[in-house]
Amino acid sequence: MAFDSEAVRRLAHLARIGVDDEAAQSLGSELEHILEMVDQLREADVEGVVPMAHPLELTQRMRADEVTEAPERDRYQGNAPSVEGGVYMVPKVIGGG
């Protein structure tokens, strides 16, 4: 797929990033190169290959699921302008008709 400057500018607009004319040309060729690599990956035979999360046979070190800090909700909420029943109260921002 060819990425001309206009296509790159449209993509940049959708991604909400600023791209000048000079960068649009170089980004177009970089995007084409990336898509070529993706096409190469699509050609790989992965039939029977088990998906994995990590290339090495490692197990995650686990720690005990224990509370290690004292609850300080009251102290944190002491700075809030409005608290009720342990939750922060905020002004209504959506009007109802």
Residue 88 lies in a domain: no
Q: Please, are residues 29 and 3 in contact by the beta-carbon 8 Å criterion?
A: yes
Those residues whose C-beta lies under 8 Å from the C-beta of residue 4, and which sit 6 or more positions away, are: 28
Residue 54 lies in a domain: no
Residue 61 lies in a domain: no
Tally the domains of the chain: 1
- Please report where in the chains the tokens 């990956």 appear, as a residue: 41
Q: How many helices (H) and strands (E) in the chain?
A: 3, 2
Identify the domain containing residue 36 by its residue range.
5-42
Residue 12 lies in a domain: yes
Residue 52 lies in a domain: no
Query: Can you give the pLDDT of all 97 residues of the chain as single tens digits?
Result: 678 888 899 999 999 999 988 888 889 889 999 999 999 999 999 999 888 877 888 887 888 999 999 999 999 999 999 999 999 999 888 866 5
Residue 34 lies in a domain: yes
Residue 24 lies in a domain: yes
Residue 13 lies in a domain: yes
